[in-house]
């Protein structure tokens, strides 16, 4: 494939509710190569897809069994349901687990449950696991070094440092915020990351000119709210 992969941010969230089966299915129809989603764990260990740790009408998801979540929030899918719906697409699973999060878990049980789920599925899904919490993706690599993992970084965090950290910890990718890649910085980061054997997947990029700029700089993935716009920009 020429150019970067297009990953729909929380699915095609401009045409369907984010992080829902409908949004993920629409992403593929709009030309995305994959989707990006957010992962939490219910109290009884079910992996659910939702951006925030809590939701209106129920509170913190991790404090409820999945049956309670399903009754209160029927639009919230399990990760297994999403993987089934996204067959043929790359699925970037962001494990939400930062200190300060309402459901922060120092034992990384969501990461462990994710590895267990992926092991139970056959054939294996095309999955990339990312997190802002380095310890969380380190845990995934400890449990299964064959799984692809990526280190997410925020604006203000030097993406070159992020690439070095990702490499030193054996991860496959660095995922910088687009705001940390102005002007020639994008090409410099892509070049260095590729020297280290890493992919560079940039989030969240919606403007066609920015998408083309990053593609020309050599990044490997574009996380976007508008996969159809991104696809057209790369034609």
Write down the H helix ranges in the chain.
Answer: 21-29, 66-72, 79-85, 109-120, 134-143, 159-168, 185-195, 208-217, 227-233
Per residue in 197-229, pLDDT tens?
999 999 999 999 999 999 999 999 999 999 999
Count of structural domains, the chain: 1
**CA gap 201, 193 in Å, rounded:** 11
Q: Position of tokens 């260990």?
A: 45
Residue 21 Cα distances to 73, 97, 98, 223, angstroms = 13, 23, 25, 18
CATH number for the domain harbouring residue 147 = 3.20.20.190
Write out the residue range of the structural domain in which residue 146 sits: 5-233
**CA gap 170, 164 in Å, rounded:** 10
Both tokens of residue 178? 């687009």
Per residue in 138-193, pLDDT tens?
999 999 999 999 999 999 999 999 999 999 999 999 999 999 999 999 999 999 99
Per residue in 41-68, pLDDT tens?
999 999 999 999 999 999 999 999 999 9
């Amino acid at each position: 494939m020429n150019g970067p992969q297009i990953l729909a941010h929380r699915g095609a969230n401009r045409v369907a509710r984010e992080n829902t089966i409908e949004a993920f299915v629409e992403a593929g129809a709009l030309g995305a190569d994959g989707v990006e989603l957010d992962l939490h764990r219910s109290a009884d260990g079910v992996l659910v897809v939702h951006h925030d740790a809590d939701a209106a009408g129920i509170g913190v998801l991790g404090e409820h069994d999945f049956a309670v979540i399903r009754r209160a929030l029927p639009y919230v899918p399990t990760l297994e349901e999403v993987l089934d719906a996204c067959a043929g697409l790359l699925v970037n699973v962001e494990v939400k687990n930062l200190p300060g999060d309402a459901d922060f878990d120092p034992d990384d049980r969501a990461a462990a449950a994710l590895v267990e789920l992926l092991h139970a599925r056959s054939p294996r899904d095309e999955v990339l696991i990312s997190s802002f919490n380095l310890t969380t993706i380190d845990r995934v690599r400890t449990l299964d070094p064959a799984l692809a993992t990526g280190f997410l970084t925020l604006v203000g965090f030097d993406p070159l440092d992020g690439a070095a950290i990702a490499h030193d910890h054996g991860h496959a990718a660095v995922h910088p915020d687009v705001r940390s890649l102005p002007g020639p910085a994008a090409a410099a980061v892509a070049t260095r990351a590729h020297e280290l054997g890493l992919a560079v997947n940039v989030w969240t990029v919606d403007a066609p000119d920015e998408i083309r700029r990053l593609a020309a700089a050599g990044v490997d993935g574009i996380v976007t709210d508008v996969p159809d716009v991104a696809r057209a920009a790369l034609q």
